[in-house]
Amino acid sequence: MDNATTYREAVREAIRKAMREDERVFLMGEDVGRYGGCYAVSMGLLDEFGEERIIDAPLSESGFTGAGIGAAMNGMRPIVEIMTVNFSLLALDQIVNNAATLLHMSGGQFNVPLVIRMATGGGKQLGAQHSHSLEGWFAHVPGLKVLTPATAQDAYDMVGLALADPDPVLIFENALLYNAKGSLDVEATPLPIGKAFVAKEGKDVSVLTYGISLFKALDAAQSLAKDGIDAEVIDLRSLRPLDDETIMNSVKKTRKVLIVDEGWKSGSVSAEIMARINEQAFYELDAPMERVCTVEVPLPYAKHLEDAALPQVDKIVAMAKKVMGES
């Protein structure tokens, strides 16, 4: 694999590798078989693995997510694909009340090694029922792990890491990233779940982000550099668990913080990170923390309104300058 590898191809290859190596692994979801997946991630897998392992499920997220939980409890390694994060709300009871709790409620007797993948994020003009970033909701729930791969490498690595985990793992794939290209080394040792990555070193301000906002933050850092501001960009990669150590080390280094989060502000991942920094590194700060989030509206369909609602590079640049004390 090389720089021509798309995010979509990276996910597909990770699933293919896992299914070739472990007959317990199967993929289940809406249109994952003959149609090749709503975002073409599973294209070609039905021909290779057949209908018993690439399962086209009915339009019932609660039903097939529950079936995945049952299969996981009985020794299988299911990958459940939910078409979009908004539709995961139809399976919320299964995910939150069953998958996340069964290990605890069984006194440690029953693990649920379930992987749930879903598309997330706006910017595609798909309307308010297909465009929200709700990964922060799931990051609130003990018993779940929440991963947000931004790069082709992480998109590949995180499938394998999630399948190896004994507990339920949710992978949120921003739909705008599927066509994005990046380098992929299938032999590389993956960063573990719960470990953030310093995507760009800097000394003036820490920009903490995840998913597609990573690339907006990196573009903003380039723009800021022209004005003499050296931004450090942290790819959180995992929202539960959060990597407090990497976050606090960056805060102590730059002493200024900006968080970019495609979720809404209220009750968000950004709010949680701000709270943790206040608890663990408040006296390291030289300025109030700031954040750029999605405007608190249902995501509009109209392109100009959707773009205005989402975090964008110019907003990140402006807020970083505010943190730095510049108008």
Asked if 130 is an active-site residue, the reply is yes
Nearest to 101 by CA among 69, 53, 124, 54: 69
Catalytic entry in 9, 81, 130, 132: 130
Rounded Cα distance between 170 and 139, Å, is: 9
- 164's tokens: 């190896």
Asked if 81 is an active-site residue, the reply is no
Catalytic entry in 61, 173, 232, 306: 61
Catalogue the active-site residues: 61, 130
